Amino acid sequence: MGYNLKKDYLLQNQVSQGNQQAFTTLFDRYHPRLFHFIVNLVKSREVAEELVMDVFLKLWLSRDMISTIDNFDGFLFKIAYNKSIDFFRAAAKDKTVADIIWERMEIPAQSYADAPLLMQEYENKLREAIDLLPPKRRKVFDMSREEGLSHSEIAETLGISKNTVANTIVEAKQFIRSYLEKHYGLAGLVVLLAYLLEEK
């Protein structure tokens, strides 16, 4: 087999054993190509980035069987294609396309006491990011995430429009995600998100 195929096969074996560094290497090798492939399909850089993250999330969650994949390149792009089709199906039904990454970042408060050290570190970083938000943005975000209030309830309480509430929450999420990516890297963030899924 060629050099790249042989290298990928070695990395696949390492990832199947839970090697996060090997996963990061595969992530760095394939992320640009997968992103380019998906963005050409969905025509949205933001959606494409989330779908690429979801591809690698699936890869990490399926790591036990990754060493058995002969055509790894084809395997990844098939997942990417299927994720893109799922996106179009959801959009075609006029349903709001869920912010998959964000939903997986949130964990129930009652689970904190039993959370492993990794998750406590994650929660600390998440709290750090929230605390760095401008006061008004943090207030809106906390009312949504911590108090579970709807956009309408927040708007009425603060005397602002629902659009302002929605835009403020989007901006807050974008900042927090960027902050976490800065500290963990995209590949590391995928591992953390996968860990959250496995804990549920």
| Position 94 pLDDT exceeds 50 | no
Residue 138: CB atoms within 10 Å: 15
- Confidence tier at 93 by pLDDT (50, 70, 90): low
Residue 195, CB half-sphere, CA atoms under 13 Å: how many?
A: 17
What type of residue is 2? Answer: G
Inter-CA distances, 189 with 117, 118, 136, 158, Å: 15, 12, 27, 33
- Distance (Å, whole) CA 5 – CA 157: 58
Q: Is the dihedral of CA 103, 140, 90, 50 positive or negative?
A: negative
Instruction: Name the least confident of 29-33, 125-129, 157-161.
Output: 125-129
Tokens read off for 144: 């949504």
pLDDT score at 170? 85
- Confidence tier at 111 by pLDDT (50, 70, 90): very low
Q: Is 171 helix (H, G, I), strand (E, B) or coil?
A: helix
Instruction: Name the least confident of 122-126, 147-151, 163-167.
Output: 122-126
Of the candidates 106, 115, 120, 118, the residue with the CA atom closest to the CA atom of residue 176: 106
pLDDT score at 86? 79
Residues 41-53: tens digit of each pLDDT = 777 788 888 899 9
* CA-derived radius of gyration, the chain: 19
- More confident call, 182 vs 54: 54
Find all residues with CB under 8 Å of 148, minimum gap 6, and list them.
none
Work out the mean pLDDT of the chain and round it to a whole number. Answer: 76
| Position 189 pLDDT exceeds 90 | no
Inter-CA distances, 89 with 26, 42, 92, 97, Å: 29, 12, 5, 10
Find all residues with CB under 8 Å of 75, minimum gap 6, and list them.
69
